[in-house]
């Protein structure tokens, strides 16, 4: 019986505590609290959905019909979209409009012919709110028109469930941390151990009066030898991987229905856009550490190549046949199956970076015998860097110079209503064109995030072929982090300084490429394109985040990496499992109100917590799924 049993027991209580807490979250945040209850009733009567508000149009222009258009601030250089038409001579249902609340919008009020623009109004509506737009004339000739938006009924604070959930999780983890600390106290351990097994305790106490047996000494010595021979594993890497994975699971499950937990429509970043590149980054770090370790053990490069190839094939096939939306639509259709995807891109990236490492990997000299010079951890691996720069040059040439029929050369826009509707079918430019030529339109992702804001109608794959080049670059930057960890092994200050330097360099490159703007730079940050600025920006974040986790977990040992460490140790199982069982209980159930953030957030957080618990149990059972 383990002495640390109380710690394990308290950790296993995580699921039940979180489940109870999240149920309380649902009951507390949905209870009648002033305007929240009235707001909920108003929302249901108006049939509003999430990210929508209710707008009543009051037209006081005499005998003048109004055509009202709108455009989101998130939609760069977009055509105005029709909202409603009003008639002052009669009150109609069309005078009631539903407006978008994800971002600030601009309302344009014209006459129905479109020749006269009366006014424009820029406003940020709040979700489930009730507003009125008053269009008034200061003179009888309707030439001087004013537009005013007033709040009929204060919208509820829809972000309240996030605050409550955050406080619940903080309280749970503080309680678990305190319980773990108390259970490690010797006095508490002795008392608990005596309560659990008093006979064994008495035997241990009595054995102190005699001489330990030879068997005991041998057992103790064997344990010591085994412990000393176990290679030290960097918990920070598994913690980093687990953090990226758990956020990925949460946003894939819906992120509580909040727009900022979903992928950005085109240029820019949300939380959901961070995690996949981080996962690719830490995969590159692990590639260097694992291959270096196996080469030191005497494994041949050719043998390791076949192992890498087989693993890549397995990843690709799992992504193609197991995690694929087509199986939900009946028998597998070869004419419509999506060829690329998350695991498919990971498999190609893993294969490319691993082969690059096997071709040029060299044994590291002893730290005491090394020549110290600037960028030594880069210069020594110049052939790899040369190939990576060549690949990046290829991406730039294809992206900016490849002619695409009907589209401007070097087009990086979303198409649809973007760019004032001039290039509706040019979504992604060369990236989509290459996928269309090689994969075929039926094998490309049919519902890209760009159709939410930019109303695109053509398929586009955010995990397409051209973007995979920059995925390889991202993994190689993670590989560089692994080189730093080995090159400066046990030199914590050197590792931290170089992580910070790399983060700073990547940040400067991103600032130059983007001109510190979302849409006006040379190459904007774009997850759909996996643009080079997207790679440098996320690498900047990744180096800095890894620096923090490495410092806290492996240097200072003030954090053991929980709970992210456990799913990080079983990342393939958690990712594949959460995709396969997404629509099954207890990960999903039928909601009473499908437009409630409270229910969505409760469901998504509980499902994510269950996977953390599963990963923890498997870790304690020493069950790890590796391919």
Active site amino acids: 263
Starting at the edge strand found earlier in the chain, the sheet holding 66-72 runs: 81-86, 66-72, 105-111, 117-123
Angle, CA 155 vertex, CA 154 and CA 156 arms, to 5° = 120
Which of 565, 554, 556, 557 lies closest to 485 in space, CA to CA? 554
What residues pair up with 66 in beta bridges, in sequence order?
Answer: 86, 111
Q: Is the peptide bond before 586 cis (omega within 30 degrees of 0)?
A: yes
**Exposed / middle / buried, residue 153 (Cβ in 10 Å: 0-12, 13-18, 19+):** middle
Phi-psi region of 86 (alpha: psi -120 to 50; beta: other; left: phi over 0): beta
In what side-by-side order are the strands of the sheet with 52-59? 96-100, 52-59, 130-137, 145-153
**Pairing status of strand 66-72 against strand 130-137:** unpaired
Q: Angle at CA 156, nearest 5°, toward 153 and 157?
A: 145
* CB 127, CB 9: distance < 8 Å: no
| CB of 284 closer than 8 Å to CB of 476 | yes
Total residue count of the chain as it appears in this document:
627
Write the CB contacts of 509 (distance below 8 Å, at least 6 apart in sequence). Answer: 533, 536
HEC-encoded secondary structure of 284-297: HHHHHHHHHHHHHC
Are β-strands 52-59 and 130-137 bridged in parallel, bridged antiparallel, or unpaired? parallel
């Amino acid at each position: 019986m383990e002495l640390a049993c109380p710690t394990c027991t308290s950790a296993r209580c995580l699921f039940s505590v979180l489940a109870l807490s999240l149920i309380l979250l649902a009951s507390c945040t949905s209870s009648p609290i002033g305007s929240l209850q009235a707001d909920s009733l108003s929302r249901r009567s108006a049939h509003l959905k999430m990210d929508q508000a209710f707008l009543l149009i009051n037209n006081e222009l005499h005998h003048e019909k109004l055509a009202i258009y709108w455009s989101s601030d998130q939609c760069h250089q977009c055509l105005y979209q029709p909202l409603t038409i009003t008639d002052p001579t009669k009150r109609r249902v069309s005078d009631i409009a539903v407006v978008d609340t994800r971002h600030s919008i601009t309302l344009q009020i014209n006459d129905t012919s479109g020749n006269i623009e009366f006014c424009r109004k820029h406003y940020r509506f709040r979700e489930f709110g009730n507003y009125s737009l008053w269009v008034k004339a200061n003179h009888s000739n309707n030439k001087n028109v004013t537009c005013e938006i007033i709040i009929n009924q204060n919208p509820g604070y829809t972000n309240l469930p996030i605050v409550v959930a955050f406080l619940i999780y903080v309280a749970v983890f503080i309680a678990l941390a305190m319980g773990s600390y108390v259970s490690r106290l010797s006095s508490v351990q002795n008392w608990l151990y005596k309560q659990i097994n008093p006979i064994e305790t008495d035997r241990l106490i009595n054995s102190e009066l005699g001489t330990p047996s030879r068997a005991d000494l041998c057992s103790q010595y064997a344990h010591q030898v085994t412990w000393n021979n176990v290679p030290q594993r960097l918990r920070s890497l598994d913690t980093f991987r687990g953090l990226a994975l758990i956020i990925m699971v949460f946003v894939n499950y819906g992120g509580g229905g909040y727009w900022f937990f979903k992928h950005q429509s085109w240029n820019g970043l949300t939380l959901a856009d961070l995690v996949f590149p981080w996962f690719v980054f830490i995969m590159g770090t692990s590639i260097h550490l694992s291959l270096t370790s196996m080469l030191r053990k005497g494994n041949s490069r050719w043998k390791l190549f076949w192992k890498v190839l087989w693993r890549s094939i397995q990843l690709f096939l799992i992504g193609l046949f197991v995690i694929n939306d087509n199986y939900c639509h009946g028998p597998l259709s070869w004419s419509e199956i999506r060829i690329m995807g998350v695991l498919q891109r990971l498999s190609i990236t893993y294969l490319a970076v691993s082969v690059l490492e096997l071709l040029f990997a060299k044994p590291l000299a002893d730290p005491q015998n090394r020549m110290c010079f600037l960028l030594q951890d880069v210069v020594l691996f110049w052939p790899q860097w040369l190939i990576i720069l060549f690949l990046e040059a290829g991406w730039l040439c294809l992206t900016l110079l490849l002619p695409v029929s009907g589209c401007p050369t070097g087009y990086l826009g979303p198409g649809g209503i973007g760019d004032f509707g001039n290039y509706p079918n040019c979504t992604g430019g060369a990236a989509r064109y290459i996928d269309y030529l090689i994969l075929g339109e039926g094998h490309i992702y049919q519902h890209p995030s760009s159709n939410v804001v930019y109303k695109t109608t053509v398929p586009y794959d955010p995990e397409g072929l051209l973007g995979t080049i920059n995925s390889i670059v991202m993994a190689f930057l993670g590989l560089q982090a692994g080189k730093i960890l080995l090159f400066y092994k046990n030199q914590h200050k050197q590792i931290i300084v170089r992580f910070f330097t790399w983060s700073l360099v990547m940040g400067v490159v991103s600032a130059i490429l983007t001109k510190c703007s979302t849409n006006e730079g040379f190459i904007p940050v774009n997850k759909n394109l996996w643009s080079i600025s997207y790679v440098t920006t996320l690498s900047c974040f990744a180096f800095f985040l890894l620096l923090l986790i490495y410092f806290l977990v492996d240097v200072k040992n003030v954090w053991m990496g929980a709970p992210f460490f456990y799913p990080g140790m079983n990342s393939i199982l958690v990712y594949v499992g959460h995709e396969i069982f997404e629509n099954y209980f207890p990960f999903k159930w039928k909601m009473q109100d499908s437009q409630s953030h409270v229910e969505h957030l409760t469901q998504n957080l509980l499902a994510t917590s269950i996977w953390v618990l599963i990963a923890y149990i498997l870790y304690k059972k020493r069950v790890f799924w590796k391919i």
